[in-house]
Amino acid sequence: MRCFRVLVASLWLTACAAQQTIPPSDPLLYDSNELAQADSVVIGIPGALTSVRVLRPIDRMKTSKRAVAYFRLPGFDGRPKEESIILDRAAARIARLVQTHDLRRIDLIGHSTGAVIALEAAKHIRAASPNVDVHVSAISTALPAPQPVLAGLRGAAGTVAAAARARSLNPRKVWLEYYRRLAYGPDVDTRAETVEAADALVAANDDRIELPENGLYRRHTRDLRRWTNPDPDALKGAQITFYHGAVDPVFPPWATRRFVDTLPDARVTFIDGHGHLILLTYPQVWDRITSTLNEPSSD
């Protein structure tokens, strides 16, 4: 039973932080020489329990004047697992990068919890560096409270249903079954093409999927549950585009639309037939984001 509870916790891929008890490491990963020569930077921020590897298409956005950086989460990509994600601290670190270098533009690309970090970072940057052109691409964004708690309940219910379908309490078997619906929504098995796509996705990622220890899950989730999107008007002047699966089982499209409508200068595109993992199931999202890199500011 304990293993099953850990599994339920680990399946909620939306989240963020806990109390910090040790001096934090630098979460940012970048080439300092490239950044010194650049006048803009693209920063990729993964979702909870995820490596920056899922964001590696961002590397293709690099030019002689545009650097690329990544935000590492605790327990991944060499960052100590004992640390926690604290939203305001993460946002402030990204803002300091802008202040340290002579940048004219910053593009923040975040998935799920990473999208929340991107939004909070945009607020910091607009306040401290108002002349910097700020663009946010939020993929499968997490939402303000109480939605993260509700997402946890949806994940628990989805896990129980996955266990029933898999006829097993084996954590890995249940997770792989749940993963299919996380990717393509609750009706994944109603069409032959989505069944085939889901099976192919699971096969391609089976050897990379690791169930995290419960302590890491807690350190990746606590802060998001308390997030209320304070001072949304601080985002005025930032260009914000959301890309969201139209059948996302974690953060529903209706709640996402309502959230986007509370933000200045924000727009949302819903991707038909896709769930919470559009980074993997809808790679065309990278072409869409790349096409915005030369868009001017609305200021």
pLDDT digits over 268-282, tens only? Answer: 999 999 999 999 999
Q: Give the residue carrying structure tokens 């098995």.
A: 189
Band (pLDDT 50/70/90 cuts) for residue 208 is low
Above 60 in pLDDT, residue 297?
A: no
pLDDT at 4: 46
Higher pLDDT pick, 138 / 181: 138
Higher pLDDT pick, 99 / 6: 99
Q: If you average pLDDT over residues 8-21, what whole number do you get?
A: 43
Torsion, CA 206, CA 207, CA 209, CA 214, rounded to 10: 130
Above 70 in pLDDT, residue 69?
A: yes
pTM of the model: 0.89
Band (pLDDT 50/70/90 cuts) for residue 183 is very high
Do 106 and 137 meet the contact criterion of CB atoms below 8 Å apart?
no
Distance CA 62, CA 56 (A): 11
Percent of the chain that is helix, strand, coil (3-state, to 5) = 50, 15, 35
Partners of 107 in beta bridges: 42, 135
Do 212 and 75 meet the contact criterion of CB atoms below 8 Å apart?
yes
Distance CA 166, CA 154 (A): 18
Above 70 in pLDDT, residue 260?
A: yes
Lowest mean pLDDT among 113-127, 204-218, 267-281: 204-218
Rg, Å, the chain Cα set: 18
Above 90 in pLDDT, residue 252?
A: yes
pLDDT at 212: 64
Do 118 and 109 meet the contact criterion of CB atoms below 8 Å apart?
yes
Residue pLDDT, tens place only, 23-52:
679 999 999 999 999 999 999 999 998 999
Residue pLDDT, tens place only, 75-104:
999 999 999 999 999 999 999 999 999 899
Alpha helix segments (H runs only) across the chain: 2-10, 32-37, 87-100, 113-128, 147-166, 171-184, 192-205, 214-219, 222-226, 253-260, 278-281, 284-291
Distance CA 140, CA 134 (A): 19
